Every structure is written in C-alpha cells, then in structure tokens.
C-alpha cells in the first residue's frame, strides 16, 4: 500500500485549525513542521518545562497531511479551507510515500544507549554491545525513562557511582522502572518503585520481570500500607526521585522522611537555574548540593544527618 502527502505552508494563526480541518476532511494523519527548518530562520518551539507555547506551530509553518493515494487531495484541502473560512484555497504540493516496513524503520531509530561506565540500555531487537556490562533490556514505551533524557542518565550515573549492595532503594516517580532496575542490578536488596500513574506501574513491573529484577512497585497510597510490612518503617538507604522541580519542592517533607538515618537522597528533573530553590525546600530536612550537570539539568544529592551538602562529582573525583 502507498500514500500521498499533501504539503501546505501556512502562517501560525492557521496551522492548528487547518490541521484539525484536514483530519475532518479525510486526511489519515496530520503533522506541523517548521517551514524554516535547516535554515538560519529555524527556531526551536519547545523549551524548558513550564515554558511550552500554547500552539504547536511556527510563524512559518508547514502542514503535512497523509492521504490515501487515490484520494482527491484538492477536494480535501478545499473542504478544510472552507471549514476554517480561509478566503482562498491554499496552494499545496504532493509527494508520494512508498510502502515500507514501518516496524523495522521505527526500531532502527532506537539504538543501544551507553550510560556511565558500564550501563547499557538495549532495545529487545538489538544485541548488547558489551555482554559483560550492566544490561537493561528496555523498549521505548508509554512510561518515561529509557536513559535518553539527561535527568535519567544523571540518576543512573549516580547509582552506578554509589552502589548499595544489600541496601534498600526507593525510586519515587519510577516511570518505566529503569532506576529501580539499575539499583537492583547493582546489588541493592530491598528495592521499591512508586508512581502515581497505574499504567506506569504496569509497565515497570513488566520491565522488571523481563530483566529478572525482583522489585515492588506501588501507587503512593499502597506504599504507605506496604511500609508497615515489606519495608521497615517505610525508610530506605537511598531515595531517588526524577520528577520536576515544582512537585519535588512540594514533596520535600515526604521524600526526606523516606530516607533512613545516614541514607542518601538524589533528586533530578531539576534545571540548573532551579537548583538553589529546590535545595532550599529540602534544607530543613537534608542538605543538598549539585552532584553533576548535563545539558542544563542537574542532579542534587545529600546525606541525611550530614551537616553540609556533599561535594559535586568533579570535586569528589579529584
């Protein structure tokens, strides 16, 4: 089977409405691109969390609609233009889309990811580049956490640099469960993951089973119940939370309360410019400092009961 793409260049004000109208008129899918991509006029659309634009469009946008090869492309564009009351039917070009092995094509976009010294995140359709490394078999999915984002990488690197054989670890906001699995494979004994999304919990459990990791996963309320039985006092030797700065600040008393005396707290999902305010929220409970920074994101860490924040990774390595 093959398809035809309809390509229309429009101003920002019409991009979103035209996209919706094209779908109503019979397009199979629609995407919006920066028409200036690859030129000096190209502009990034999405930036830092909390600063996303209201519309997924650029001042000079390109709307691309996928249609059946035998569809009447002019009629589709005309119907969409009339629906949003454009004064004239916009000009457009078409291009053929040949059939392809879309599964294989999609899989080819995801290669093994090397993290830290010895960690590899490997999709199920790849061989591990280093079979002697710490291998996590993990496919891209709905739950956050494949190791590609700097915040996930920072947390994984911290866990690798601070293995806790025989100790307990809590991954709060676990997503795919990747941090909990790293801790388990590094020798942690009692490992738990928590997420507010039941779908993430389901994904994390499946990932842990695939990687032969025995980990308990909970929604927050269930952790509170389990703390009285499975996990001593609900406190852990290491608590890691890769979320975002606003919820991290709100959860400061709770997350700090999950850290056992002498235990470590690791936070990420924090932009470098937000580090001081997040550390200030935790200051009454635990002294946090920046452990490392990557692409504008940081990982904060601290030890419960330690008077001062520990040094960053670079200073510790020297």
Count of CA atoms in the C-beta half-sphere (13 A) of 167: 21
Q: Residue 236 has what pLDDT?
A: 94
167 lies in the same domain as 264 = yes
Judge whether 305 is annotated as a binding position: no
For residues 147-154, average pLDDT:
88
Say whether both 279 and 172 belong to one domain.
yes
Domain shared by 184 and 298, yes or no: yes
118 inside domain: no
**Residue 308 in marked binding region:** no
User: Three-state SS for 230?
Assistant: coil
pTM of the entire predicted model: 0.68
At 236 the three-state DSSP class reads: strand
User: Would 191 be classed as within a structural domain?
Assistant: yes
The reply to whether 152 sits in an annotated binding site is yes
Rounded Cα distance between 6 and 96, Å, is: 9
The domain boundary, picked from 64, 81, 99, lies at 99
- Asked if residue 144 belongs to a domain, the reply is no
173 labelled as ligand-binding?
yes
Domain that holds residue 271: 149-304
**Residue 131 pLDDT grade (very low, low, confident, very high; cuts 50, 70, 90):** confident
Residues whose CB falls within 8 Å of the CB of residue 143, separated by 6 or more in sequence, listed in order: 175, 176, 177, 195, 197, 199, 200, 203, 204
Q: How many domains does the chain have?
A: 2
- Residue 108 pLDDT: 55
């Amino acid at each position: 089977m093959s398809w035809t793409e309809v390509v229309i260049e429009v101003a920002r004000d019409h991009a979103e409405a035209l996209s919706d109208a094209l779908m109503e008129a019979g397009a199979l899918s629609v995407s919006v691109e920066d028409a200036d991509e690859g030129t000096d006029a190209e502009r990034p659309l999405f930036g830092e969390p909390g600063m996303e634009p209201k519309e997924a469009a650029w001042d000079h946008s390109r709307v691309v609609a996928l249609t059946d090869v035998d569809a009447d492309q002019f009629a589709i564009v005309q119907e969409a233009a009339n629906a949003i009351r454009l004064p004239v039917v916009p000009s457009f070009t078409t291009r053929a889309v040949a059939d392809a092995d879309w599964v294989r094509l999609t899989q080819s976009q995801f290669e093994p990811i090397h993290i830290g010294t010895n960690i590899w995140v490997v999709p199920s359709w790849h061989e591990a580049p280093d079979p002697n490394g710490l291998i996590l078999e993990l496919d891209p999915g709905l739950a956050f956490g494949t190791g590609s984002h700097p915040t996930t990488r920072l947390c994984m690197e911290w866990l690798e640099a601070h293995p806790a054989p025989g100790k307990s670890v809590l991954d709060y906001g676990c997503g795919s469960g990747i941090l909990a699995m790293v801790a388990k494979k590094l020798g942690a004994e009692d490992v738990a993951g928590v997420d507010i999304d039941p779908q993430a919990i389901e994904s994390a459990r499946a990932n842990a089973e695939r990687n032969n990791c025995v980990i308990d996963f909970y929604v927050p309320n269930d952790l509170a119940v389990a703390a009285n039985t499975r996990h001593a006092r609900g406190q852990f030797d290491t608590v890691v939370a890769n979320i975002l700065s606003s919820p991290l600040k709100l959860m400061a008393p709770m997350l700090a309360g999950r850290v056992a005396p002498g235990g470590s707290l690791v936070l990420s999902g924090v932009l470098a410019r937000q580090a001081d305010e997040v550390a200030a929220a935790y200051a009454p409970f635990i002294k946090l400092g920046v452990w490392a920074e990557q692409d504008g994101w940081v990982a904060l860490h601290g030890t419960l009961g330690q008077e001062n924040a520990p040094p960053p990774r670079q200073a510790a390595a020297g």
